Structure 1
Amino acid sequence: ILIKEVEKELKTQLDKITTKRIIKKSLRQKKVIKVKDLKEAVKLANQMAPEHLELQVKNPRQYLNQLENYGSLFLGEYSAVVFGDYCSGTNHVLPTNKNARFTGGLSVKDFLKVLTYQQINKKGAKKLAKTAEEFALLEGLDAHKKSARIRKTK
């Protein structure tokens, strides 16, 4: 029933929009997926990792701890994507193509450069060499294996 009502409302709203032609073209790409319950919907949302995710349900906050993969989450009927796009304060540079599985919206952290270094002494090299040789052997990287071995016997 809900799917039919949404489809009907979509048609009604489409007739009122000046960009109808563009939206119709975009809607050719849409998919309607019927789920048995909200638990399945949450699981599907996490798999899809959408750029925008709207929870148009009663008590949407109860699902916060279950949702892990989204660019920006909109809770409840008044939290429309348009507000996130233009003025509610959340960042609008969001991950697409399921990239929300491993990152969220752009933040100041994205402009920080993280540099790492390591310095291993002779004792440490001897201790690490066996493990490094085993991994190198598994990966078929003979030069890596020899590099570890040389440092073990040096």
Structure 2
Amino acid sequence: MQLSEELARTFQAMGRFLHEREASLSRSDFGVLLRLADTGCTRSRDLAAAEGLDPSTMSRRLASLEERGFIRRSPDPDDRRAQVLSLTDAGEDALRTERRRRVGSVTDALADWPPEEQEELARLLGRLADSLEAAPRPRSPG
């Protein structure tokens, strides 16, 4: 198989693998909380753009996260008409728990791999992540 086919198969298998195990957060909620943790405070429209979602879809997701006490809205110090989003302590706890669960699930699945192969996989995945992060962003249409 070609590399691109193996990557697609791996990403699908990883998604299915994690989804089939009891999650404390949905994949979508995990992604939003993770992005908020990485960026700190941000506006909902910036979050929607970063996640590639329609603002109305993001608005519903954020309302659910806020209802569960995972995020808070505060006035934007630069523009009092706007609001910025941030994680609450409960949101940080939920994110930490879900990260631990995901890492533990994958670690358990690799338990029969020799340590040197686990280390090589970690090194190559890190290199792949670096390359993807460094790749030029496509220009937005319009």
The TM-score bracket by the shorter chain reads under 0.3
* Structure with higher RCO (Cα < 8 A, 6+ apart): 2
Q: Which has the higher strand share?
A: 2
Q: Which has the higher helix share?
A: 2
Normalised to the residue count of structure 1, the TM-score between the two structures is 0.19
Normalised to the residue count of structure 2, the TM-score between the two structures is 0.20
**Computing the radius of gyration over CA atoms, which structure comes out larger, 1 or 2?**
1
